[in-house]
Amino acid sequence: MNLEQQCQGIEILLTDVDGVLTDGGVILNNEGVESKQFHIRDGLGFKLWRQAGFKCGLITGRNSQVVRLRAQELNMDIVRQGIQDKATVAQEVLKRFDLKPEQLAYVGDDLIDLGAIRLAGLGIAVADAVEEVKDAADYVTKTPGGKGAIREVIEVILKAKKVWNDIIHTY
């Protein structure tokens, strides 16, 4: 099955955070307050994704107030933090929404994402992911994590589904 065919059935996009929505860096100040930098185009990408009628969510290995705030801002359907077994959580999400693995796109960058990438109908690695993740992925972005990789993924899927032009027509 080619990429365009894989994209046809996708109904939900789940993604890791650190290394995908960010460049993987974590900044802690002297008081232990964490900050992260997110790419604004990814945010609009999620808005376009939801505008097209699809669900999205975050599954991350770390717990972070910053992630909770960003997820709220992006109106995520799913936010799961502190997760080491992402494939099991992805299966729970699929069950919750009565979806099959082939309807899932999952984006990751590191070994902790391998199970979810292998489960997904469309497993995706960001350009600067570790080699094992790239090898397991159906698609590797041209864009590195934290630099708009999610926007690239969303555009690829929405274009393959032939809804991109309808969505951007509103701008």
- 16 marked among binding-site residues: yes
The full 3-state SS of 134-149, as one line of letters, equals HHHCCEECCCCCCCCH
- 102 touches 92 (CB < 8 A): no
- 18 marked among binding-site residues: yes
**Could you give the angle at the alpha carbon of 35 between the alpha carbons of 56 and 110, nearest 5°?**
55
The helix or strand, by DSSP H or E, that contains position 119, with its residue range, turns out to be helix 114-119
* Rounded Cα–Cα distance for residues 12 and 57 (Å): 8
Task: Please report, in range form, the residues annotated as the binding site.
Answer: 16, 18, 109
Task: Please report, in range form, the residues annotated as the binding site for substrate.
Answer: 18
Task: Please report, in range form, the residues annotated as the binding site for Mg(2+).
Answer: 16, 109
